[in-house]
Each structure stands twice: as C-alpha cells, then as structure tokens.
Amino acid sequence: MGLHASHVVGEKYIAAIVDGAQALAMLLPALGERQAPEDLFAHIDGLLFTGSYSNVEPHRYGGHASAPGTLHDAARDATTLPLMRAAIDAGIPVLAICRGFQEMNVVFGGTLHQSVQTVEGYDDHRENKEDDLDQQYAPSHALHLVQGGMLQKLAGGASEVRVNSLHGQGVERLGNGLTVEARAPDGLIEAIGVSHARAFTLGVQWHPEWKHAGDALSTAIFRAFGAACRDRMRIRTGSAAAANAHV
C-alpha cells in the first residue's frame, strides 16, 4: 500500500475458503503475461475469483469509456481473463464472485452494463456506503433460482432465496456457452454456469463469502466448491485421499 504496490486479498475470502471450503488458500499475484496460466495447474486444485472495487476495463468487451473516477486494474484483467478460461477448459473448479462473475461473462464474449442503476427497468443494486458493513452486506433482495439448475440444487430445491447486493455493474449480453442460474426480481442475471465445464464452475453476483457460515446457500456453495477441489486433487496427485486442496 502507499508508495509500494501490493497484491492483496480480503480476509473474508480467505476465511470462506479455509473454513467454508476446508481448503488451503493461496494468493496468486496479478502477473499478467509474465505468468502462463498452464504453469499453475500442476500446483492448484481450484480457483476463486474475488470481488474488487475495480471494474473490468471496458475495452475488454467492446464497451464505451468508463465514467471519470472509475477504478480499473489492468494487471488483474491481464491475469484473470486468460487464467479463468484456461482453468475451466482444463477441468479446474472455479468459483467467481462479483467482479469475478463479471469477468466470467467477459471471458465468454459477454458484455456488461457499467451502471445498472441508469438502465431503464433495472433497480439500483449498489450498497449504501454510509451504512456499516453488516448493513451493507445484509440480504437486500430476492433471488429467483432457475428450476433444475446447479444453484437450485445447492439451495435444497428452493425456488427463491435472499442475497446481499453490492454492485454497480451487471450482465448486459450473456456470454457464449453460459447458462443462467438465477435472476434478481428486476430480471438482472445474478448467477451463471458454464455449459461445457468439466468441473464445478459457478459465478455469482452477490457476496456469499460474507459470514458464509450463517447462510445456508453460502455454506452449500463453499462446501461444494471445496469438494470439487478435493476431487481435482485426487486426479492431480493420483491419490485416493486428499485431505487439503489448494485454492
């Protein structure tokens, strides 16, 4: 921080992986083209793409220039976009949250609304930054789950749950090969899967990592992700038992 550039990840994501997925969390630095995605695959069993205050650069999906003051992270884009596609193609479990969800859509050729609240027909999905964190991350709208989808199965067959909402961007055009797992009441896509994925692959627009143990769906998401990572470890190591996966 300050004068020295840093690669960081929030404690809430680490806790959700360690305690919720029961896996070992490791930070991958945003090295862009200096790191070939495939070089990592012999050492990891899953990938979590976290949220961020930065937005995907609009030139990545043919969007118009961002509003003044919009935060971007070119190094992250150069790292995560090729890494996510390569990982999914290689059968590595992927969980993508908020910005990660938006990255997933861009990776498969989709586009983004840069300010959902300005698009006619959509609600304002942003948090009130004046509120304390518990209020910001409290459930704020219903989520309609697609019948028969993976997310509905994780929700125990429920057709509707409630989730938090802390985002300004959203899916405009869905990427090729992506499937809708859930929508907000205004119709905005809030969860997606990848039709050809060989392993657990899920993108969610909300933040299930926040106090994950106190929410049934969040708990189920991280348990399923952790189980998929351990399956991947058994394949990677040829082991019949994998106590700890690496994410």
Q: Which residue numbers are catalytic?
A: 98, 207, 209
Q: Are the C-beta atoms of 61 and 108 separated by less than 8 Å?
A: no
Q: What is the rounded distance in angstroms from the CA atom of residue 222 to the CA atom of residue 20?
A: 5
- The phi and psi torsions of 86 (rounded to 5 degrees) equal -65, -40
Alpha carbons 26 and 9: distance in angstroms, whole number: 10
Beta strand extents in 45-200 (DSSP E only): 47-49, 94-97, 112-113, 141-145, 160-163, 170-171, 178-183, 189-194
